[in-house]
Amino acid sequence: MSQVDEIFKLIDREKARQAQTIELIASENFVSENCMKAAGSCLTNKYAEGYPGKRYYGGCDVVDEIESRCIDAWKQVFNTNYHVNVQPHSGSQANCAAYSAVIKPGDTVLSMSLDNGAHLTHGSSVNFSGKLYNMVFYGIDSRGYIDMEDVRRKALEFKPALIVTGASAYPRIIDFQAFRAIADEVGALLMTDMAHIAGLVATGRHPSPFEAGCDIITTTTHKTLRGPRGGLIFCKPELKKKIDSAIFPGNQGGPLEHIIAAKAIAAYEAMDPAYSDYIDRVISNCNTMANRFVDMGYDLVTGGTDNHLFLLDLTKSGVTGKVLQETLDLCRITLNKNCVPHETRSPQVTSGARIGTAAMTTRGMSSDGFLATAGVIDKVIKALQGSGISDEFIDARKSEVDEILNSTLTANG
Ligand X SMILES: *Cc1c(COP(=O)(O)O)cnc(C)c1O
Nearest distance in Å: CB 111, ligand X: 10
H or E element in which residue 296 lies: none
Taking a C-beta distance cutoff of 8 angstroms, is the pair 389, 381 a contact?
no
* Piece in contact with ligand X (CB under 6 A), picked from 188-196, 251-259, 269-277, 352-360: 188-196
Set 152, 229, 242, 398: catalytic member? 229
Set 46, 154, 205, 223: catalytic member? 223
Set 28, 37, 47, 398: catalytic member? 47
Measured CA to CA in angstroms, residue 352 lies from 116, 194, 311 at distances of 12, 22, 7
Q: Which of 233, 276, 225 is nearest to 32 (CA)?
A: 225
Q: Which of 87, 121, 357, 362 binds ligand X (CB under 6 A)?
A: 121
Mention every residue, 6+ apart, whose C-beta is less than 8 A from residue 264: 38, 66, 69, 70, 73
Q: Which of 50, 123, 130, 166 binds ligand X (CB under 6 A)?
A: 166
Taking a C-beta distance cutoff of 8 angstroms, is the pair 354, 26 a contact?
yes
Q: Which is nearer to ligand X, 168 or 325 (CB)?
A: 168
Q: Which is nearer to ligand X, 298 or 310 (CB)?
A: 310
* Piece in contact with ligand X (CB under 6 A), picked from 163-171, 199-207, 275-283, 314-322: 163-171
Residues 231-290 that bind ligand X (CB under 6 A): 231
User: Any catalytic annotation for residue 395?
Assistant: no
User: Any catalytic annotation for residue 205?
Assistant: no
Taking a C-beta distance cutoff of 8 angstroms, is the pair 380, 331 a contact?
yes
Sign, CA dihedral 56-75-160-122, equals negative
User: Any catalytic annotation for residue 193?
Assistant: yes
User: Any catalytic annotation for residue 220?
Assistant: yes
CA-based diameter of the chain, in Å? 67
Q: How many residues bind ligand X (CB under 6 A)?
A: 15
H or E element in which residue 124 lies: none
Q: Which of 55, 83, 119, 206 binds ligand X (CB under 6 A)?
A: 119
User: Any catalytic annotation for residue 240?
Assistant: no
Report which residue type is found at 303.
G
Q: What is the DSSP letter of 45?
A: G
Nearest distance in Å: CB 137, ligand X: 15
Please identify every residue annotated as catalytic. Answer: 47, 49, 193, 220, 223, 229
Binding site for ligand X (CB under 6 A): 27, 90-92, 95, 119, 121, 166-168, 193, 195-196, 220, 231
